[in-house]
Structure 1
Amino acid sequence: MTFLSKTKMAAAQLVASFVGENVILQTTLVLLVVFVATSWFFNTPKNLPPGPRGWPIAGNIFSLATGHGFVTMTEWAKTYGPIYRIKLGNETNVVLSGYDVIHEAMVKRGEDFSSRPSNAILKFLNPEMLGIVGAPFGTPWKEHRKFTLMSLREFGFGKRSLEGKILEESVSLQAEIMKMGDRPFDISLMVQNAVTNVICSIVFGSRFEYNDEKFKRLMDALDQGLSFNFFGQLAIFFPTLRRVPGLGRAPKMIQNDLVTIRAYLREEMDSHKKTFDPNDIRDLIDSYVRENKSRENDDETTFTDDNTEWVLFDLFIAGAETTSTTLNWAFLYMILNPDIQEKVQKEIHSVLGHDQRPSTAHRAQMPYTEAVLTEVARIATILPSGVVHATSRDTSFHGYHIPEGTTVLTNLWSVHHDPEHFPNPGKFDPGRFLDSQGQYRRDDHVIPFGVGPRMCLGKQLAEMELFVFFTSLLQHFTFKLPEGAAKPSTTGISGVTHSPKNFELVAEPLA
């Protein structure tokens, strides 16, 4: 056989081998697609609400990644109705839109819709689903929520005695702002420091100086741990993507930041145990140490160090992030609406003058200020999809069957930006919440803390902080855009919360 013949034969064998492997590969892919489609068909519960078509495996993730997902979900409600379903990866989510449907599910049918899903992100953040925020609906959650609220009330939660701590922080915050002189600066970190210190004083019994190195590390971990974007979430939903260069970095960083926060909480718990005195309960940690000790011989108790750590984590994260983000939106809208800021200041000075400290008792005397804060909560909507819920049992709702454990998203954005209830919803207009006599008019359609059994337990504290910080700062400063600066955008950034993009302002002291 000649060399040429051998070469042709070898080439033919190579082509045959390649074609054969290609046929096997194609057959394998076809079988895989058939398997995925069949599994999806038979595993998808029947009589679920309708919803938009999604990609195989990924579902509707990519549709929600373009722009703001909550805006997309609000648009989908126009097509599929106030109750529809979406797929995030292989997980079915039911989306509730509009006030009536959300109120019916979360309040009138609260027992059915008050659990937490065991989805990819929650399992990533809190694998054992401990604490309060991530715990499923049931006796342990009820016990810890009730005990935490009872303990918080002992330390002034919802009472005027807590105002002293908030006012102390407002004075410290004013001092930090004064240091800036007439220079432009980003107020967000200062606000977060102040708000976090209020939580620290309740939970740990002490506050930090703003330049404390441990406090700085804690704030850095808090910022980074809560700022994961779409690609970070994608790598959490699909763990295999973490092997892709760049995608695996976000989940690892998030875990490291959360470990940093939890390590600090554990350190505080250990320190409190060493100095614990049952006759001197100093803070929330002491309350839990006392309760845990009283149940040491109960093998069934959920009052353990692990659960305590997660309760503290929930309070720390929720208390630090949501209130500070709302205040950042408030200052953004003040520099964009100087006429509204001036009206707020006139009302503050007419009630308090320039020296009297604000108190929640003054809220009834400041209807315009109250209306401004309500409009901030409405237009900014820092948790546009609410905190995720899940059905606690198989549920029939508006003719649809929703199986136990199904993730339920409450589209609060659709409530706060409903043009039927709030005409021209993109306009910042505090007048929506004032009657013809200029008195504050409460509106049940503003629900930034959610509704029902799992309404945010920090609602009273948050409202107190927002009023005291906002009024005390506007009592002493006028906030302005830096000279020559472009107007900041009111289009926010979607992370754990819906927060404003970074902006700078100038604080002009009032005489």
Structure 2
Amino acid sequence: MISASSTVIPLVIALLGLLAILWYRNAQRYLAPLPPGPKAYPLIGNIFDLPQSQPWSAFKKWADTYGSIVHVSAFGQHIVVLNDAQYATEMLDKKSRIYSGRPKLMMAGRLVGWDESPALSQFGETRWSEYRRLLNQFMGTRGKIEPFYDILQQEADAYLENILNDPQNWLKYTRRYAGGIVLMLAYGYKISGSEDDAMVELVDEAMDQFSETIAPNAFLVDMFPILQYVPSWVPGAAWKKKVHHYRKTLQDMLNVPYNWTKSQMAAGTARPSFVYSQLDTSKLPNLNDEHIIRWVAASIYSGGADTTVAVIETFFMAMVLQRSAQSKAQKEIDTVVGHDRLPTLQDREQMPYVEALLQEIMRVYTITPLGLPHLVSENDTHHGYFIPKGSTILTNNMMLYNDPKVYPEPEKFSPERFLSSEGNSKQKDPREYLFGFGRRVCPGVHLADPSVWLACASVLAAFDISPGVKDGATVMPSGNFMDGIIRQVACFRFEFLSGDVFTFPSHPEQFECNITPRNASVLALLQKF
């Protein structure tokens, strides 16, 4: 029988060792000063300064006081916040060799298993290089995605048909649209009908769990890894039951669609897909190869679906709030395609206002107010400031999107800022921040971009989007977002999760809208599907 002392004594020794390490880290002196920031306490650092919600707002206040680069710490962990595009590009792009790591997460990573994913794998590892090689081969350029445009068009047509028949459930069909594209490309799996699909539900469940576990210090084990050895019967350790459940969901996400494709190949009925292209060779893959293929396919499947949904969902909200911009975009679409067909990706270059509208939506109603964290792998000195090895680097995208030097009158919703006109040059494309920096740029950008454009242009051509009505009164969206993982990435929480909602990425708060066919011609087109 294990005695209480046999469990407690090692924990006490480990805690004392941790305190010694923290003291040593805080006692270090550097050849150059750390970036400025709030005054830190011994050992615990700035733990009481770290925001519990909307961290980008707190970071803005810090920027107003301390400048474009700010340093804080928590229990010996250095955190550097970049509030300026120049710092972000100089450090994360130009010095990407040393600024491309990821913070190591205990709950989401080692315990649940996401540390083997492309998103959380460490830069420079063999498997990370293999992941990027396969992803770039499959979808690394626009030219590699263009052969799949017919699939995008088929899913867009089904999307419009579903919204026409059941407009109240437009969000469900948005998920079906995004999921249908990535499932077909990754596995050759086609969603049939308008009902909920088990594969889509599986990735939704896995991403919900990922969002919960990746939030830094949502679980105490992320701050104190020694807690992984605490028995599940210890008070406060109920989170360990989640580990088993979440790990099983992740394994199902990796294996269920992958094994489905293998069974289709064995039966001779498989459609072309990423998995098919990797397995349809004369050389059978070994177990390590299959492990890599599973993870790459799952990253296409999971990474593409929820991000695309979040952007399209935000588009619907913006169209309720910005009715005049909606009308301008519809007028441009009518001029280009007329009334006897719907837009295709081949029409995109002829619709500069629609392009500018989507850019402004991504800037003003961004789903990524904070970038995903980077980790610096070596000591560095930048602009006279010392950046210690192992520091977590955060980009405050909200500041980047609202920098008046880059976007004059940033509080104003103005798609025209992205159009060239006499005496006016286009402003910086916010998508350069949305998809990340350096060697951590989202590998799915060339798929997500046309998927979002086609869905939004098709909806604009087919439907009017207006505010919802409740009890006879117009109900406008709040314009706010749920406090999702990207919006929580620097929120260092100490309580165990108890009903908090995390999403990855951030989604708008629930809102009502009316969706109606624009005219009889459009209705006739949609009824042909």
CA RMSD between the two structures = 3.7
- Deviation of residue 456 (structure 1)? 1.0
Match of 1:505 among 495, 507, 513: 513
Is contact 2:174-2:312 (8 Å) kept? yes
Q: Secondary structure at the match of 1:490?
A: coil
- Deviation of residue 144 (structure 1)? 2.1
Q: Hey, what does 2:478 align to over in structure 1?
A: 489
Of stretches 460-469 and 187-196 in structure 1, the one that deviates more from structure 2 is 187-196
Matched AA of 2:136: L
- Deviation of residue 137 (structure 1)? 1.4
Mapping 1:320-331, distance limit 5 Å? 320-331=305-316
Instruction: State the alpha-carbon separation in 2 of the partners of residues 438 and 246 from structure 1.
Output: 67
Q: Hey, what does 1:69 align to over in structure 2?
A: 55
Match of 1:429 among 414, 422, 439: 414
Instruction: State the alpha-carbon separation in 2 of the partners of residues 104 and 435 from structure 1.
Output: 27
Mapping 1:126-141, distance limit 5 Å? 127=113, 129-138=115-124, 139-141=126-128
Q: CA offsets per residue over residues 107-164 of structure 1, 9 Å max, x none? A: 22121212222244653576573232212111432332122221347997431x3221
Structure 1 residues 466 and 213, CA gap change in structure 2 (3 angstroms): closer
Match of 1:407 among 392, 395, 412: 392
Matched AA of 1:482: G
Q: CA offsets per residue over residues 244-279 of structure 1, 9 Å max, x none? A: 9998677855873563243133123234345547x9
Q: CA offsets per residue over residues 306-326 of structure 1, 9 Å max, x none? A: 333332332222201111101
Instruction: State the alpha-carbon separation in 2 of the partners of residues 337 and 494 from structure 1.
Output: 23
Of stretches 302-311 and 396-405 in structure 1, the one that deviates more from structure 2 is 302-311
Q: Secondary structure at the match of 1:264?
A: helix
Identity of aligned residues (%): 26
**Structure 1 residue 349 corresponds to structure 2 residue 338:** no
Matched AA of 1:385: L
**Structure 1 residue 221 corresponds to structure 2 residue 210:** no
Mapping 1:193-342, distance limit 5 Å? 193-209=176-192, 210-215=194-199, 217-218=201-202, 220-222=204-206, 224-228=208-212, 233-235=218-220, 237-238=222-223, 253=242, 256-257=245-246, 259-276=248-265, 282-289=272-279, 296=286, 303-342=288-327
Matched AA of 1:500: P
Matched AA of 2:209: G
Q: CA offsets per residue over residues 387-419 of structure 1, 9 Å max, x none? A: 221123332222233233322112222211113
- Deviation of residue 35 (structure 1)? 5.7
Mapping 1:180-191, distance limit 5 Å? 180=166, 185=168, 187-191=170-174
Structure 1 residues 124 and 88, CA gap change in structure 2 (3 angstroms): farther
Q: CA offsets per residue over residues 350-409 of structure 1, 9 Å max, x none? A: 111234232333222111111110001111222222122112333222223323332211
Is contact 1:334-1:479 (8 Å) kept? yes
Instruction: State the alpha-carbon separation in 2 of the partners of residues 84 and 157 from structure 1.
Output: 40
Is contact 2:107-2:219 (8 Å) kept? no
Is contact 1:96-1:102 (8 Å) kept? yes
Q: Hey, what does 1:455 align to over in structure 2?
A: 441
Is contact 2:162-2:173 (8 Å) kept? yes
- Number of residue pairs the alignment of both structures matches: 473
Q: Secondary structure at the match of 1:479?
A: strand
Matched AA of 2:87: V
- Deviation of residue 48 (structure 1)? 3.0
Is contact 1:114-1:390 (8 Å) kept? yes
Match of 1:398 among 383, 399, 404: 383
Instruction: State the alpha-carbon separation in 2 of the partners of residues 238 and 208 from structure 1.
Output: 41
Is contact 1:204-1:285 (8 Å) kept? yes
Q: Hey, what does 1:84 align to over in structure 2?
A: 70
- Deviation of residue 194 (structure 1)? 0.9
Is contact 1:155-1:162 (8 Å) kept? no
Q: Hey, what does 2:454 align to over in structure 1?
A: 468
Q: Hey, what does 1:163 align to over in structure 2?
A: 149
Structure 1 residues 56 and 472, CA gap change in structure 2 (3 angstroms): farther
Is contact 2:419-2:425 (8 Å) kept? yes
Mapping 1:87-98, distance limit 5 Å? 87-88=73-74, 90-98=76-84
Instruction: State the alpha-carbon separation in 1 of the partners of residues 460 and 426 from structure 2.
Output: 22
Q: Hey, what does 2:502 align to over in structure 1?
A: none
Instruction: State the alpha-carbon separation in 2 of the partners of residues 231 and 450 from structure 1.
Output: 19
Structure 1 residues 34 and 115, CA gap change in structure 2 (3 angstroms): closer
What 5-or-longer segments of structure 2 have no aligned partner? Answer: 1-15, 486-504, 520-529
Matched AA of 1:140: R
Match of 1:100 among 68, 86, 91: 86
Q: Secondary structure at the match of 1:197?
A: helix
Is contact 2:344-2:454 (8 Å) kept? yes
Q: Secondary structure at the match of 2:86?
A: helix
Of stretches 109-118 and 258-267 in structure 1, the one that deviates more from structure 2 is 258-267
Q: Hey, what does 2:4 align to over in structure 1?
A: none
Matched AA of 1:130: E
Larger Rg: 1
Q: Hey, what does 1:172 align to over in structure 2?
A: 158
Is contact 1:235-1:251 (8 Å) kept? no
Instruction: State the alpha-carbon separation in 2 of the partners of residues 504 and 360 from structure 1.
Output: 29
Structure 1 residues 104 and 256, CA gap change in structure 2 (3 angstroms): same
Match of 1:386 among 367, 371, 386: 371
Match of 2:134 among 147, 155, 162: 147
Is contact 2:336-2:350 (8 Å) kept? yes
Is contact 1:358-1:468 (8 Å) kept? yes
Is contact 2:406-2:427 (8 Å) kept? no
Instruction: State the alpha-carbon separation in 2 of the partners of residues 246 and 344 from structure 1.
Output: 57
Is contact 1:357-1:472 (8 Å) kept? yes
Q: Secondary structure at the match of 1:187?
A: helix
Q: CA offsets per residue over residues 412-470 of structure 1, 9 Å max, x none? A: 22211113322332332212112325999362555211232221111111110111000
Is contact 1:384-1:413 (8 Å) kept? yes
Matched AA of 1:357: L
Report the TM-score, using the length of structure 1 for normalisation: 0.80
Mapping 1:371-382, distance limit 5 Å? 371-382=356-367
Structure 1 residues 437 and 170, CA gap change in structure 2 (3 angstroms): farther
Structure 1 residues 86 and 351, CA gap change in structure 2 (3 angstroms): same
Structure 1 residues 41 and 294, CA gap change in structure 2 (3 angstroms): same
- Deviation of residue 58 (structure 1)? 6.3
Structure 1 residues 399 and 158, CA gap change in structure 2 (3 angstroms): same
